[in-house]
Amino acid sequence: MKNLYSIRMRASAQERHISGAERIVPEERIEKTASELIARALSKGFTPDTIVVTLDSLKDVAPIQQRALDVVALSVHDVRSGREMASRILQRLGVSVRAIEIAMTHLDRGASPSGKNMRGAMVLDASTGDRLEQDREQGVRASRFDWSDDAEKEITRLLAEAGLTHFRTREALALATKVAHAPGMVAELCWSDDPDYTAGYVASLAMGYVRFPVLKHRGNGRGGRAFFVDPDVFEMETLLAYLQTKPVLITEAGLCRQVLNPEMFCAQVNGREQKKIYT
Ligand code: WAQ
Ligand code: MG
């Protein structure tokens, strides 16, 4: 195994986070990757005040290899039906209506105590909806994950076949794959904080990455992530150790399919035997 490095970039302007990205690369690609990430931080239309690029050797810790979640792209056309279906899928996965409502309300109004977007995710008890993360300003961040070169090529091709060509989809799928494999994780709900990007997803090991083109209104700059955990299994320390420090390389693409009749998909989902899968 070559000497691998985790490279992370985050950029901010006026104390506000504006972009971030994650890579895992061999030593000889550090310089090229670092300049790609800096170029990305500079491409947001305005100059960041601060760009932080962090490099860590993974030393002798070999990345865990994972297969990407399968992608199901649902054609929903408005926020209401998107959220309603996201809610039905989450319920099917064992998340309570109360926990779903709490998550959506927080994501809508800015989940941090000051009403801003969090840098990381909320962690919610999947049955009570109680927020479990220590730091509600920062939340919990997943880190140290990337696609292998081959898997990245393959997923880019498969997503494009399903009409999905934005790099955000590929990056969110990598994050969601790592998160879905976390101990005690039931499901993740996400929508972007970018005002022009209305898409979001519900991700889980049991049902894969279910993508919605609209989960919020265009122009709305609020967004975030909620990690729903099983209170019987979950331990914060174990979760954080996995999410923040275990390197994950996604070495295999999953399946990608478009579903033009989301009502039918949801009906099938609701008819399916409920199974709880934890690792
Ligand atoms: N770990 C945990 N939470 C994070 C992380 C991370 N590494 N990065 C971002 N977040 C949280 C944080 O609260 C952000 O405000 C929020 O997620 C949204 O981040 O086409 O673009 O980078 O299928 O705006 C989903 C749909 C897009 C993609 C997600 O997220 C698709 C997106 P953003
Ligand atoms: Mg964003």
Instruction: Render pLDDT for 28-51 as a digit per residue (tens, 0 to 9).
Output: 999 999 999 999 999 877 789 999
Q: How far is the CA of 10 from the centre of ligand 2 (A)?
A: 11
Q: Which residues of 35-55 are buried (b: 16+ CB within 10 A; e: fewer)?
A: eebeebbeeeeeebeebebee
- C-beta neighbour count of 218 within 10 angstroms: 10
User: What's residue 56's pLDDT?
Assistant: 95
* CA 194 to ligand 2 centroid distance, Å: 5
- Closest residue (by CA) to atom 29 of ligand 1? 192
The confidence score (pLDDT) of residue 271 equals 55
* Ligand that lies nearest to the alpha carbon of residue 192, given by its number in the listed order: 1
Backbone angles phi, psi at 19, to 5 degrees: -160, 160
Q: In angstroms, what is the span from residue 160 Cα to ligand 1's centroid? A: 20
Residue percentage of the chain with pLDDT more than 70: 96
Measured from the alpha carbon of residue 136, the closest ligand is 1
Report the residue among 137, 193, 212, 229 best suited for mutation to probe ligand 1: largest number of ligand atoms under 8 A from its CB.
193
- Ligand 1 pocket test, candidate residues 7, 108, 119, most atoms within 8 A of CB: 119
Average of per-residue pLDDT across 243-256:
97
261 or 8, higher pLDDT: 8
- Ligand 1 mutation target, pool 118, 192, 242, 258, most atoms within 8 A of CB: 192
Residue 217 CA, ligand 2 centroid: distance in Å: 15
Instruction: Indicate if the pLDDT at residue 204 is higher than 50.
Output: yes
- What's the pLDDT score for residue 94? 96
- CA of 143, closest atom in ligand 1: 7
Mean pLDDT of 252-272: 83
Q: Packing angle between helix 167-180 and helix 149-161, nearest 10 degrees?
A: 120
* pLDDT of 279 strictly over 60: no
Q: How far apart are CA 202 and CA 262, in angstroms?
A: 14
Name every protein residue with a CB atom under 6 angstroms from any ligand 1 atom.
117-121, 141-142, 166, 168-169, 172, 175, 190, 192-194, 197, 199-201, 211, 223-225
β-strand pairing of 200-204 with 16-26: unpaired
C-alpha distances in Å from residue 99, one per residue of 24, 94, 95, 135, 221: 34, 10, 7, 19, 23
The answer to which of 6-10, 168-172, 236-240, 266-270 has the lowest mean pLDDT is 266-270
Mean pLDDT of the chain: 93
Q: What mean pLDDT comes out for the span 242-255?
A: 97
Per-residue model confidence (pLDDT) at position 60: 83
Q: What is the rounded CA–CA span in Å between residue 121 and residue 189?
A: 10
- What's the CA gap between 54 and 57, in Å, rounded? 10
Cα angle 187, 191, 194; round to 5: 155
Residue 112 CB neighbour total at 10 angstroms: 18
Summarize pLDDT for 161-186 with one digit per residue, the tens.
Answer: 999 999 999 999 999 999 999 999 99
Q: Which of 190, 211, 228, 243 to mutate to test the pocket of ligand 1 (most atoms within 8 A of CB)?
A: 190
- In percent, the amount of the chain with pLDDT more than 90 equals 82
Q: DSSP for the chain, please give it.
A: ---EEEEEEEEEETTEEEEEEEEEEEGGGHHHHHHHHHHHHTTSSS--SEEEEEEEE-TT-PPEEEEPPPEEEE---SHHHHHHHHHHHHHHTT--HHHHHHHHHHHHH-SSTTSSPPSSBEEEETTT--B--S-TTT-B---SEEE-HHHHHHHHHHHHHTT---HHHHHHHHHHHHHHTSTTEEEEEEE---TT---EEEEETTTEEEEES-SS-TT----EEEEEE-TTT--HHHHHIIIIIS-EEEEE---EEEES-HHHHHHHHHHSPP-----
Q: Is 125 left (phi over 0), alpha (psi -120 to 50) or beta?
A: beta
For the CA of 120, the nearest atom of ligand 1: 3
pTM: 0.94
* Residue 268, pLDDT above cutoff 90: no
In the predicted structure, residue 276 carries a pLDDT above the cut 80:
no
- Does pLDDT of 274 surpass 70? no
Query: Sorting pLDDT into bands at 50, 70 and 90, what band is 157?
Result: very high
